[in-house]
């Protein structure tokens, strides 16, 4: 266990405090609805962002503001391996995704491209659509300003912190390659 | 006492033993990507500042998703991948010689038992059917694997699924895996390995095993594993390029290996399964699905596009006609499957029945091209996902089933059980 997320800040431009409006989703939000495959003929994040969440909430891109936070229940990001999914979410300004659990490929992809994820295994019923959250990436504290309730996210495993600390997998690997 | 997965991961990380949840650096035997995921992987590969892939024989790219190119943008992506493949001298199968990656790689001998394979495609888990540890990842992970030949992994726990009894007629690998996902849910095996075992699995033909391993990801699993037995050995004799130099060793989990769960099924009385929209776990026995009117039936893909699947479909379609209100698309998984089906007369059967036979492509399965659905349309498909908008309009519906139900339904114009057509 690593002392929570103090290293995450380096990955995310030292942005410790995130604050944004909640876009609430339920379980099994899959990569097909996050970014439908019909838009995968390009890989430019800005282009992908135009269609983010289109098949689950067609109004999403019109509603989302920089810093907003996606909150979902279990198995967020299930389905395909497309890295375009976290890229689209990040490119439309979402500052982090909080869920009770994440699908494993999505989890790796998000860490690799620098989209912060927070896992909170208990019930997330205390957070509703439109609530304003304050998230401290250094401590994992998630504060619901609207409802005046606070919960604490699960810590990252130590190994993953090394990748996050290095600024993502590409920089981590570059460093490893230089050492050898 | 180790699971097959633990044995493979230990052997690939120069360790005598690995423990569940331990982080290990694993050497990979093959790295795969396709025309959707390779362009991002190539971009990240360049960022690493490495000029050559770690081993050109161990990297493969397949233009299958939007190929033959569906539009100018997808043509640009395919071109970028083709040029990289040429520059690096890696394995590359051009349109006309290719197949859907998960049918192509085993068939062309790129998969050996006990290997570790990573691919920028979630259905890379298909190769577990040959006793390889194979798992899907994103483009950045695959870029690193292409550059270094290694990837980090967390050693997953294994859930053992034992299937007992004797399979009823027209019940195959697709029905077993749909039944299982219906039971445990789409995150029922999250982060875990699904290991398939029991006397039903011992008897299950390779095509059915590929179907089951293919859909392990639909339960959230990291891999779907089969023990290396005589059936795999026989398959390798026919397909491996290296068979004579690398004999297939039978191998399996130790008898007292530690499983996180053991789930047993008696499948003697299960019916063919149908997954209703919009999630693969929403399964029902076909007798409870009959009557749903359909606009399209798709038979093939990386889940059920092998010769054995097409043979099942042809048994139903031989001498019969596709329903007049319905479009039926047959999608052989590779050029080899296509040619074998042609030689056996299956393609003639399909065309005479009124079906369209497509060149191998992932196109319709993910709503890309070659069979996209309009709003309000319903398709029964032998593919692996039925999420909202998967095959086209977010207002369309996808039902998943095996080739027997699909072919019977194509004839009836609605979801039908196989016995309605072949008594």
A38, A42, A109 ranked by CB distance to B368: nearest: A38
Q: Is residue A5's pLDDT more than 60?
A: no
> Per the CB < 8 Å rule, is B37 touching A28?
no
Choose among A42, A43, A81: nearest Cβ to B121: A81
B373 at interface of A, judged by CB pairs closer than 8 A: no
- A121 CB-side CA count, 13 A: 3
Q: Does B45 touch chain A (CB under 8 A)?
A: no
Q: Does B393 touch chain A (CB under 8 A)?
A: no
Confidence of residue A49 (pLDDT cuts 50, 70, 90): very high
Record: contact A174-B44, CB cut-off 8 A: no
Residue boundaries of the structural domains of chain B: 4-266, 273-422
Residue of B nearest to A45 (CA): B40
Q: B185: alpha, beta or left, given left = phi > 0 and alpha = psi -120 to 50?
A: left
Distance from CA of A46 to the nearest CA of B (A): 14
**How many A/B residue pairs have CB atoms within 8 Å?**
139
Would the pLDDT of A8 be above 80?
no
Closest CB to A80: pick one of B50, B122, B392: B122
ipTM: 0.96
Question: B393: exposed, middle or buried (C-beta count within 10 Å: 0-12, 13-18, 19+)?
Answer: middle
Q: With contact defined as beta carbons under 8 Å apart, do B219 and B188 qualify? A: yes
**Phi, psi (rounded to 5 degrees) for A76:** -65, 135
pLDDT at A1: 35
Q: A-side interface with B, Cβ within 8 Å?
A: 27-28, 30, 32-33, 36-38, 40-43, 54-56, 74-75, 78-84, 101, 103-105, 108-109, 112-113, 157, 159, 163, 168-170, 173-174, 176-177
**Chain B 141-200, CB below 8 Å of chain A: which residues?**
141, 143-144, 147-148, 152, 154, 186-187, 190-191
Question: Stretch A150-163: mean pLDDT, rounded?
Answer: 84
Contact A37, B368 (CB under 8 A): yes
Contact criterion met (CB < 8 Å) for A103 and B220: yes
| Residue A121 pLDDT > 90 | yes
Confidence of residue A11 (pLDDT cuts 50, 70, 90): very low
Measured in angstroms, the CA of A74 and the nearest CA of chain B are apart by 8
Task: Give the chain B residue nearest A56 (alpha carbons).
Answer: B388
CA A130 to each of CA A53, A95, B329, B356: distance values in angstroms, whole numbers, following the listed order: 17, 15, 44, 48
Nearest to B222 among A55, A104, A177 (CB): A104
Which of A3-12, B102-111, B390-399 is predicted with the least confidence, judged by mean pLDDT?
Answer: A3-12
Q: Tell me how close the Cα of B190 comes to any Cα of chain A, in angstroms.
A: 7
In this complex, the residue of A101, A169, A170 whose CB is nearest that of residue B187 is: A101
pLDDT at B40: 97
pLDDT (0 to 100) of residue B245: 54
CB contact under 8 A, A83 and B40: yes
- The CA distances from residue B358 to B72, B150, B361, in Å, are 21, 37, 8
Q: What percent of chain A has pLDDT over 70?
A: 91
- If you average pLDDT over residues A106-116, what whole number do you get? 93
Cβ distance of B48 and A40 shorter than 8 Å? no
Confidence of residue A166 (pLDDT cuts 50, 70, 90): confident
Record: contact B140-A170, CB cut-off 8 A: yes
The answer to whether the Cβ–Cβ distance between B147 and A174 falls below 8 Å is: no
Q: Indicate whether A158 pLDDT > 90.
A: no
Residue A99: predicted pLDDT: 98
Residues in B 196-235 with any Cβ partner in A closer than 8 A: 220, 222
| Chain A residues touching B368 at Cβ < 8 A | 37-38, 40
Taking 70 as the threshold, does the pLDDT of residue A178 lie above it?
yes
B377-397: average pLDDT: 98
pLDDT averaged over every residue in chain A: 89
Domain B4-266 is in which class?
A: alpha beta
Residue of A nearest to B37 (CA): A82
Mean per-residue pLDDT, A42-47: 95
Lowest mean pLDDT among A14-23, B21-30, B64-73, B374-383: A14-23
**Taking CB atoms and an 8 Å cutoff, what residues of chain A touch B77?**
41-43
Q: Considering only the beta carbons, identify the residue of B36, B222, B390 that sits closest to A40.
A: B36
Q: Which residues pair with B261 in a beta bridge?
A: B159
Give the CA distances from residue B54 to residues B91, B114, B202, B257, in Å, rounded to whole numbers and listed in that order: 13, 20, 37, 34
Q: Please tell me the distance in Å from A106's CA to the nearest CA on chain B.
A: 8
Cα separation, B30 vs B112, in Å, equals: 10
Sorted by sequence, the CB contacts under 8 Å of residue B301 that are 6+ apart come out as B100, B331, B333, B362, B365, B381, B382, B383, B384
Q: What is the percentage of chain A residues whose pLDDT exceeds 90?
A: 74
- Mean pLDDT value across chain B: 97
Whether the CB of B48 is below 8 Å from some CB of chain A: the reply is yes
The reply to whether B71 touches chain A by the CB within 8 Å rule is yes
Q: Is the pLDDT of residue A161 over 90?
A: no
Name A14's Cβ contacts closer than 8 Å, sequence gap at least 6: none
Residue B249 distance to chain A (closest CA, Å): 31
Closest to A5 in 3D by CA, of A168, A153, A178 = A153
pLDDT at B246: 59
Q: Does pLDDT of A30 surpass 50?
A: yes
Over residues A16-20, the mean pLDDT reads: 88
pLDDT at A162: 79
Among B194, B387, B397, B400, the strongest candidate for a mutation testing the A interface, having the largest count of A CBs within 10 A, is B387
- Residue A7's pLDDT band, with cuts at 50, 70 and 90, is very low
Is the CB of A108 less than 8 angstroms away from the CB of B191?
no
Q: pTM for the full model?
A: 0.96
Task: Using an 8 Å CB-CB cutoff, list chain B residues near A174.
Answer: 48-49
CA distance B205 to B309: 11
- Read off the pLDDT band of A9 (50, 70, 90): very low
Per-residue pLDDT tens for B101-159? Answer: 999 999 999 999 999 999 999 999 999 999 999 999 999 999 999 999 999 999 999 99
Nearest to B397 by CA among B326, B299, B293, B303: B293
What pLDDT, on a 0 to 100 scale, did the predictor assign at position A10?
A: 46
Which fold is adopted by the domain B273-422?
A: Aconitase; domain 3 (3.30.499)
The pLDDT tens digits for B200-256 are 999 999 999 999 999 999 999 999 999 999 999 999 999 977 655 556 778 999 999
Q: Among A8-17, A141-150, B150-159, B316-325, where is mean pLDDT lowest?
A: A8-17
């Amino acid at each position: 266990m690593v002392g929570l997320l103090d290293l995450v800040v380096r990955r995310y431009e030292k942005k410790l405090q995130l604050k944004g409006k909640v876009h609430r989703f339920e379980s099994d939000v899959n990569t097909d609805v996050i970014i439908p495959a019909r838009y995968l003929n390009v890989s430019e994040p800005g282009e992908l962002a135009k269609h983010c969440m289109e098949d689950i909430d067609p109004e999403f891109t019109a509603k989302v503001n920089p810093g907003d936070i996606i909150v979902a229940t279990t198995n967020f990001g299930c389905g395909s391996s497309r890295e375009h999914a976290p890229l689209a979410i990040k490119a439309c300004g979402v500052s982090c995704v909080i869920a009770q659990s994440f699908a494993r490929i999505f989890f790796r992809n998000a860490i690799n491209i620098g989209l912060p994820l927070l896992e909170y295994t208990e019930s997330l019923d205390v957070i509703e659509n439109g609530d304003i959250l304050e998230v401290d990436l250094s401590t994992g504290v998630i504060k619901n300003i609207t409802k005046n309730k606070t919960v604490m996210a699960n810590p990252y495993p130590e190994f993953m912190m090394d990748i996050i600390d290095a600024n993502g997998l590409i920089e981590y690997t570059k460093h490893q390659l230089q050492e050898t | 006492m180790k699971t097959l997965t633990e044995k493979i991961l230990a052997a690939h990380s120069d360790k005598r033993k690995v423990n569940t949840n331990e982080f290990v650096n694993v050497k990979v035997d093959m790295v795969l990507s396709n025309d959707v995921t390779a362009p991002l992987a190539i971009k990240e590969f360049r960022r690493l500042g490495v000029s050559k892939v770690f081993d050109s024989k161990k990297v493969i790219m397949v233009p299958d998703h939007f190929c033959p190119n569906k539009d100018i943008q997808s043509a640009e992506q395919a071109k970028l991948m083709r040029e990289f493949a040429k520059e690096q001298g890696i394995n590359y199968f051009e349109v006309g010689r290719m197949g859907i990656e998960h049918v192509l790689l085993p068939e062309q001998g790129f998969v050996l038992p006990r290997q570790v394979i990573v691919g920028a495609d979630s259905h890379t888990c298909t190769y577990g059917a040959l006793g390889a540890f194979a798992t899907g990842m994103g483009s950045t992970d695959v870029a690193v694997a292409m550059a270094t030949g290694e990837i980090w992994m967390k050693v997953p726990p294994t859930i053992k699924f034992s299937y007992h009894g004797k399979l009823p007629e027209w019940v195959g690998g697709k029905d077993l895996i749909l039944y299982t996902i219906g039971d445990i849910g789409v995150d029922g095996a999250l982060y875990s390995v699904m290991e398939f075992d029991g006397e039903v699995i011992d008897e299950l033909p390779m095509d059915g095993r590929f179907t089951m391993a293919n859909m392990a990801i639909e339960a959230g699993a990291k891999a779907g594993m089969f023990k290396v037995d005589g059936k795999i050995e026989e398959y390798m004799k026919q397909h491996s390029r290296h068979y004579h130099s690398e004999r297939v060793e039978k191998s399996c989990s130790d008898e007292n290996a530690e499983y996180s769960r053991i789930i047993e099924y008696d499948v003697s009385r299960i019916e063919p399964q149908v997954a209703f929209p919009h999630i693969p776990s929403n399964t029902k026995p076909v007798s409870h699905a009959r009557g749903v009117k359909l606009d399209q039936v798709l038979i093939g893909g990386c889940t059920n596009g092998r010769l054995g699947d097409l043979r099942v479909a042809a048994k139903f379609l031989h001498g019969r006609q596709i329903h007049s209100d319905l479009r039926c698309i047959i999608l052989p998984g590779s050029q080899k499957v296509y040619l074998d089906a042609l030689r056996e007369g299956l393609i003639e059967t399909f065309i005479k029945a009124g079906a369209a036979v497509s060149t191998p492509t992932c196109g319709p399965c993910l709503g890309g091209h070659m069979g996209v659905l309009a709003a309000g349309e319903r398709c029964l498909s032998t593919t692996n996902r039925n999420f909202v908008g998967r095959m086209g309009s977010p207002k369309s519906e996808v039902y998943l089933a095996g080739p027997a139900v699909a072919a019977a339904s194509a004839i009836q114009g609605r979801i039908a059980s196989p016995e309605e057509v072949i008594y």
